[in-house]
Amino acid sequence: MSSVTIEWVTTGIFALCFIAAIIIETLWLIRKGWASAQKSVAYVMLTNNLSLCIGFFIPFVIIGTMLALAWSGDLSGVSGGEATLIAAIVIALLFPPIFLLLTKRVFLAFFKIRSGREAWLYSLAFTAMSLGLSFIPPIAFFYIASKVF
């Protein structure tokens, strides 16, 4: 299997897992009786897609800026030195899950689905499930396929 094929299959696995996470979350909301089918679909699609777009744009900008600095040779001249670069990488890694968690919580209140401790637990659980289900299988496939093929 060529490297390009492995990359396309990995992208396809991500897309299927992302869709599976959306379906699982929507069905859970409907089954628990927290929201109607229409409200559940709107909530899940809005929070996941908004978080995917905005949540990964910020790390893209951070990493892109670091790459631009590295290519120009100015990376060593960053004020704060390595601490600034490490902080930027930590922010780039933590921003997407924190943004997804907060988006889910805010939109639970906006759609009047749940509030209080229950809403925070739901947001935390489904943030972990969405990220885990969407990213672990494609990463595992890519790692295994890279070693085998």
Distance of alpha carbon 2 from alpha carbon 9, whole angstroms: 11
What average pLDDT does this structure show over 88-111? 96
Q: What is the pTM of this model?
A: 0.88
In degrees and rounded to multiples of 5, residue 111 shows phi and psi of: -85, 0
* % of the chain residues with pLDDT over 90: 83
pLDDT reported for residue 79: 83
Phi, psi angles (nearest 5°) of residue 78: -65, 130
- pLDDT tens digits, residue range 122-140? 999 999 999 999 999 999 9
Alpha carbon dihedral 3, 146, 139, 53, in 10-degree steps, equals -20
Among 91, 92, 127, 93, residue whose Cα is nearest residue 107: 127
